[in-house]
Chain A
Amino acid sequence: MGKIIGIDLGTTNSVVAVMEGGRPKVIPAADTGRNITPSVVEPVKNLVGDVAKRQMILNSKNTIYSIKRLMGRRKTDDEVKRTEKMVPYSITSGKDKSAQAGNMAAVEVEGKTYTPQEISAMILGKLKKDAEAYLGEKVEQAVITVPAYFDDSQRQATKQAGEIAGLKVERIINEPTAAALAYGLDKGKSEKIAVYDLGGGTFDISILELGDGVFEVKATNGDTHLGGDDFDAVVVDYIVSEFKKENSMDLTADKQALQRVRDAAEKAKIELSAASEVEINQPYITQKDGNPLHLTMKLTRAKLESLVEELVEKTFKPVEACLKDAKLDPHDVDEVIMVGGMTRMPKVIDKVREYFGREANKSVNPDEVVAVGAAIQAGVLAGDVKDILLLDVTPLTLGIETLGGVATPMITRNTTIPASKTETFSTAADNQTQVEIHVTQGERPMSADNKSLGRFILDGIPPAPRGVPQVEVAFDIDASGILKVTAKDKATGKSQNITISGAVGLSDDEVKRMQEEAEKHKEEDTKKSELITARNQADAMVATAEKALKDAGDKVAKDIKEKVEEKIKAVKEVKDSDKKDEIEAKTKELSETLSQVGQAMYQKQDDKKQETSEQSGGDEGKKKSPKAGDKAEAEEGEVVE
């Protein structure tokens, strides 16, 4: 069985997506590489998408856009009449005059009549071809989305369009429902969801109610002639009027200049979603009395927001009406979802938050969210999305506690399971015969701040200098989230393990709380862990120095020895304090002084020198140690194999 694709057949733009490896993937157009295809068709030459759009002005009578406004509507329908006034192509009534289809709206191009189904089929056909090129296999089935307000006749027409394009339409779903699916809201408890969809040319608001995994559209409303294009127009008007004020020149008279202003306005609008101010620079935009004029101005986000405020406000009338129909107050809504490119504008986000009193879902690309939802629905129908194949991830980092109470990550957050990871650790003190493995879960750098999942002791490690024993710690999570932690002493082969169930299955609230806490404490945690690192390094340096002195014996001059001892004392005095900088400074001093020992040894005895330097540098810095004795330990470092 082939893949089923999900299609968002939009008024202005269309998007196609598919489930791939259990995840929705938006398919880029083969000709442009872009994820969205303009819903523009030139039926005579069969041009679809960007290529049709580029020749639109030249062949305005032959180029059909906004065909969705005619889908399944009678020629006498108000929306059809309104569209007729707006578009340059001619709208006629259906081909089959005798049948009921004779009353339906259609378009006429060079004397030939095309039904909206046929025009839409060309768009669907292109998306199908793009999907086939991407997947490398035939595609014959699709899920297509329609606005929630589409009636039966409009849905039927959409289905027919799919069939003309050679696609079996497995299901027609509502656009707001698809958006909710894209956010996985079908898995939640019963909820009331508002979908705020501000696209290129239309605004839709829908209230959904979820019960038993089924979405019901409670109410829908909107403005069929309000969208991003209106926002662009406001910005263009502003730039033109500012230029006129300054130069007494009307840029609208010069089509070439106006085109440049339009491009610049759209670019500025998009950039102002991220920046608070943009510069618009279009040198040599026009001429006056033989002298060139340049368009240079600054546009701030505040200015843009004041320009479009009225348009944003305009969306809330339908929102109010919609809530009233659904018999709800704004605060009764549990989730708000943002759809459409215009919902990237911070002003829109703020207003929606203000109105509903909650943060909207906007993590999925608002241009693609409907197609993504359609693909998910398609995946469910194809059997791609089933519980057993739904790959889970670890919601929080799993790790073990190492020296100084540091939580050392083993399996990081968001790792897809099943997964396993092995690392080798060592001991922290000389002759240490046991290590404690403390398994923790959470994002905080200190173990004490994370959730303890369990602990066990591996003993029977043969006595050896610190850092020499190799303890292999293996984490393994199976598909159902059961974590098995094994520690094994490589020398003796002795091992211990613990099995923890439910390492993945935390409640959502718990995960959220832990993530928020990690975020909240980020700064202090970083400081704390830097302090611990400094202390650990100080400890390690003291141990190294003491050992070096012991090994060197009387081969080192007394004055050097005393100097080192003095520095050791200095480090010991500060190392348990909270003064990170001081600990680091003293450690550095000790390290520098200690190198004199090495130098002295060089001079004294050739064959002994290597051993000393190895001991002073070789066995530290390379190994981590599970929480062990409270003595000296190596600094953070790489795994030893």
Chain B
Amino acid sequence: MKKDKKSKDSVSELKGQLARALADYDNLRKRADEEKDALFKYSSQRIIAGLLPILDMLEAAQKHINDQGLAIAIKEFKDLLREEGVEVIPAGQGEAFDEDTQDVIEVVEGGEHGKIKEAVLAGYRFADGHVIRHAKVKVYGGLTESKKGENMKKENKD
């Protein structure tokens, strides 16, 4: 009798483990499909992320030498990014800082707390919002300590 119970127990234990293994497998299969879709969608992200610093350098050079030919090259570069569904993350002066797409690298005295002073490095994202590189921005720190908190709360509601 005891043996009977024991074998019954082990059968149900095995059944449980089998069910778990099958479920694991099924979930894994589903996830593999999802990951494959994502991989396909974002496969260009790696190479684009690697090319962006070079675009930065070209733009820095252009700012300095202001060459017409280089201007064309930079335009072609940006057109290509657009065709790949890549867009520039807006980070204009006076806009509110957005931690989802931007990265504060410096806080500048004065101005209105939490507003962008300037973008020092352009950010890029796919049209669906998936960020390739966060924009690096200098942000105003505001005037007084007490005002800081209030302004920040206000922005949140925006």
Contacts and interface: CB of A to CB of B under 8 A. Distances in A.
Interface of A: 20-22, 45, 47, 51-52, 54-59, 110, 134-136, 255-256, 259, 281, 283-284, 292, 383-384, 386, 388-389
A389 B17 contact: yes
Most chain A CB atoms below 10 A, which of B104, B107, B114, B156 = B104
A353 B123 CA distance: 43
B17 A55 contact: no
Given A54-B103, A256-B120, A389-B21, 4 more contacts: A20-B24, A57-B107, A110-B149, A383-B17
Contact of A284 (B64, B105, B134, B139): B64
A130 B28 CA distance: 16
Most chain B CB atoms below 10 A, which of A22, A59, A134 = A59
- Chain B, interface size category, equals 35 or more
Interface in B27-58: 27-28, 30-31, 57
Contacts of B21: 21-22, 389
Contact of A259 (B64, B134, B136): B136
A591 to B, nearest CB: 45
B147 interface: no
Interface in B65-118: 97, 99-100, 102-107, 114
Nearest to B131: A32
A58 B17 contact: no
Contact of B61 (A57, A255, A281, A283): A283
B64 A58 contact: no
A388 B114 contact: no
A621 to B, nearest CB: 37
Given A54-B134, A58-B104, A58-B139, A45 B156 contact: yes
B104 A55 contact: yes
Contacts of B24: 20-22
A58 B97 contact: yes
B106 A47 contact: no
Given A21-B24, A54-B134, A284-B57, A256 B105 contact: yes
Given A22-B21, A110-B149, A386-B17, A54 B102 contact: yes
Contacts of A51: 99-100
B60 A55 contact: no
Given A58-B141, A59-B152, A283-B57, A256 B106 contact: yes
A388 B25 contact: no
A57 B104 contact: yes
Nearest to A57: B104
B14 interface: yes
